[in-house]
Structure 1
Amino acid sequence: MPITAGNRTVHLWALCEDVVLEPGEHEGELLLTGPWGTERIDSANPVVHEALRRMQLGPVLPANIEVPPGEPQGRAAACLVLLPLLTRLSHLLVRTLGLDDLGGPLLSVSPVSPTAPFALVRLPAGRRVRLPAGVSFSLGAKGVALESSDSPYRVVLHRPEAVWVVAMLAWPITPADASAALPLPDAVTRNVLDYLAAAGMAAPADAGVP
């Protein structure tokens, strides 16, 4: 099914498969144990409990987390509580760029280091970017994987459309030109590039590179 301008991108969070969530010794305490040790969350509110429980099961849109009955916070306020925590736990989370269609996610970004801050920043439309040197590609059951010794993340491209965007980075190109060259909605191309940049798989091109 082709991606159309009517399709909306969605930003999803999930716990890494090797992260175990369990209650701590004290009321409201949660423990997340992963390959780099244990993270402790003290006095976690019901929204945090529910969000992390669902993130164990797969990718979740934080805005869709149900606020438990009787919880005084509304959904918007709950997200304000949740998002700073997810930023702190970024080294334990898989970030996924999805679409509101039935074709599956576009790409996912998984941490491979305990120091893996993931911050999405919109690339300037006129700034040239390209694949950094040393990025390797491998084909697996879930798609095409991108890895680099200089990046604390591993990116998996799940759909051909994400591969098309990466292919544009073989040479220096601006996000605006990449969007114009591909048969994809501008928002899709730009979001894929933003995820790649946040994962260290799209870097500013040297001004001297033709």
Structure 2
Amino acid sequence: MGNTDEYQTVHLWSLSEDVVIESETDDGELVLSGPWGPERIAAVPPVVREALHRMELGPVLLKNVEPRPDSKTSKAGVYLVLLPVLERLSHLVVRTLGVGDFRGPVLSVCPVSRHALFSSVRLTAMAPIQLPRGVSFTLEAEGFALERDGSTHRVLLHRPEAVWVVGMLVRPVTPDAVSDALPLPRALTWSIIEYLASAGMVTQVETGVEAGMEADLA
């Protein structure tokens, strides 16, 4: 498995390939052009402008975005300034999971709808999960792609680690069981599963007891 430090998870942000920063106005407004028309952001702080320009070029680690020396935004406050804007632009933002071995990203979650909102999902270690019905699995130049009818995201699996995890999810299984079965650090396995869940590609499975209780209450 190699040095565990090499598998430290890295969470990256970028603008979708079809998104371009068209212009900046004198009053600090940014205009982004995307597949669903222009997006205007008024009074953009310098740290947000810097982050978006870097995200236009490729995946960015937000903790590496530094405020300008003359900025009133502290290093600790960068997230407080950035995250509300990035949440608003969630339908234009690709979320990428990487690791510290410099062999490329593990997977990317790409928006495919104006209503796409990447919201982190926390799972329970012993609660069964699996791929939901309607998920397609196809090979593309960038890796395997997961898509689902009606989903606001698609997922690109760039590396074998992500494919291994997906392969475990074709039947109901707990996150703990996936972690125990694969030769990967637990943190990486869990991050892959949580990214898939946040993209709508993993659902929790009702146990027989839970299903029976719901039937009794109906």
TM-score after normalising by structure 1: 0.95
* 1:71-99 deviation per Cα after TM superposition (whole angstroms, max 9, x unaligned): 12111102210011111111001100011
Report if aligned partners of 1:8, 1:100 keep a CA contact under 8 Å in 2.
yes
Question: Could you tell me whether the CA contact under 8 Å between 1:63 and 1:76 is conserved in 2?
Answer: no
Aligned to 2:141: 141
* Unpaired stretches in structure 1, ≥5 consecutive residues: none
Decide whether the 8 Å contact of 1:107 with 1:157 is kept in 2: yes
Work out the CA distance in 1 between the residues paired with 2:85 and 2:124. Answer: 28
Separation of aligned partners in 2, 1:103 and 1:24: 35
Aligned residues: 208
Aligned position for 1:5: 4
Partners of 1:3 and 1:38 in 2: how far apart?
46
Query: For residue 15 of structure 1, what is the amino acid of its counterpart?
Result: L
Structure 1 vs Structure 2: percent identity of aligned residues?
55
Match of 1:63 in 2: 63
Deviations along 1:94-144, whole A, 9 cap, x unmatched?
A: 100011112111000101100011011221111110000110011111100
Contact preservation (8 Å) 1:135, 1:147: yes
Shift of 1:40: 1.0
Which deviates further from its counterpart, 145-154 or 191-200?
A: 145-154
Q: Which is higher, the Rg of structure 1 or of structure 2?
A: 2
Superposed CA RMSD: 1.4
3-state DSSP of counterpart to 1:103: coil
Instruction: Verify the 8 A CA contact 1:108 1:156 in the aligned structure 2.
Output: yes
Q: Partners of 2:135 and 2:105 in 1: how far apart? A: 22
Contact 1:154–1:199 (CA under 8 A) maintained in structure 2: yes
- 1:26 CA drift (Å): 4.4
Aligned to 1:132: 132
SS, match of residue 172 in structure 1:
coil
Q: Judge which range, 87-96 or 117-126, deviates more.
A: 117-126
Partners in 2 of 1:63 and 1:32 — Cα distance?
A: 23
Cα distance in 2 for partners of 1:158, 1:101 equals 14
Partner deviation per Cα, 1:49-83 (whole Å, 9 max, x = no partner): 10000000000011111211211211110221001
- The answer for the alignment partner of 1:88 in structure 2 is 88
Secondary structure of 1:75's partner? coil
| 2:201 alignment partner in structure 1 | 201
Where has structure 1 moved over 4 Å in runs of 4 or more?
A: none
Q: Distance in 1 between matches of 2:205 and 2:165?
A: 16
- Distance in 2 of aligned mates of 1:15 and 1:122: 24
One-letter identity of the residue aligned with 1:205: V
